[in-house]
Structure 1
Amino acid sequence: MVATDRTTGPERARAAAAAVTDPELPMLTLADLGILRRVEIEEDGTAAVWITPTYSGCPALAEMRADVDRAVRGAGFDRVEVRTELSPPWTTDWITDEGRRKLSENGISPPGGAPRRAPGPVPLTLMPTRTVPRCPLCGAADTEELSRFGATSCKSLHRCRSCLEPFEHVKEI
């Protein structure tokens, strides 16, 4: 069946794509992460879905595309195109409040505000920028970074000096 209803089709396709979970943070949907940009039904009935990866080299992008394709086809669309949109680049500011809550509930420290940059070329900074996140388990602010890279390159590994538990933190981008 080809879904051609242009009134309910976009909402149905968007709901299907929005419910897809992130392969690296499965407690979050693509909508929670702000990765899902837009969904349109084209004249020929193709469901076109635009996503923005968390960064251009994200190894999970192929899996996300396949999962979105499968979910939208499961919502009744025979033709699906998942397109990558790189501009503007994704920022952790796009993570929804619900997404931040889910991260914290799952023991992962959500990111703070993304760094603000002036328009134009990205300035070179030789000193690393470090965020000192609160512990998502006990709420303490006294934490230390154990490794700049966690299970994925978008997370860092920390330990709470109060409860002594390790936790991951989603880096601000």
Structure 2
Amino acid sequence: MALTAAPTSSLSHTTDVARAWSLLDALTDPEIPVVTLRELGILRDVRASATGLEVVITPTYSGCPAMGQIEDDVKALLQAHGLQGRVVTQLAPAWTTDWMSEAAKDKLRAYGIAPPHACASEKSGSANVVQFAARSAKPEVVHCPQCGSANTTETSHFGSTACKALYRCLACMEPFDYFKPY
């Protein structure tokens, strides 16, 4: 007589999803290790499927080199805790810096990265070129994360990563990254 596995209950799925959220809450971004994927808004969803869990992530921008590492980190974390699943990359709606939590912005500032201003896009992540062109005509005031001065200048539109710009504070003379709003 062959034994068959008992059907997985919805309670088990609910428990696995809750457990995965709890574990993933501590998983940090590989490029900014003081901020979690959830705080950045990259971690979009965890859901049960017939083959295990599906963890949904959205890249901060198209071609983000950290996405492969993020996927590997998510898979390794699930496996280390006995959870089966896969990572799904969801491109729409497009990620926006408006998805960052206030805690993420505070942590960025404490880490020495100026957090982004509010994005001109709607909360759904549906920005358009006209909005970005209109915003870029007026220079933004970016406060130094070291001393708080507004007397700063952009030295390069690209900083340590493509999603950041390099600034220098003219008050304390410290260079710093500014996480550009999307």
TM-score normalised by the chain length of structure 2: 0.84
2:98 equivalent to 1:111: no
CA deviation digits over 1:83-139, x for unaligned, max 9? 01111100001111110110000111000001237x796338499454331011111
Other-structure match for 1:170? 179
- Check conservation: 2:113, 2:145, Cα contact below 8 A: yes
Q: Which has the higher helix share?
A: 2
Higher Rg of the two aligned structures: 2
2:68 equivalent to 1:62: yes
Letter in 2 for 1:75: H
Structure 1 residue matching 2:45: 3-state secondary structure:
strand
- Equivalenced residue count is 167
Other-structure match for 1:8? 15
Q: Which runs of 5+ in 2 are unaligned?
A: 1-7
Other-structure match for 1:142? 151
Letter in 2 for 1:50: V
TM-score normalised by the chain length of structure 1: 0.88
CA RMSD of aligned residues (A): 2.0
Identity %: 43
Higher relative contact order (CA 8 A, sep 6+): 1
Letter in 1 for 2:46: V
2:136 equivalent to 1:131: no
Change beyond 3 A, Cα 1:166–1:122: closer
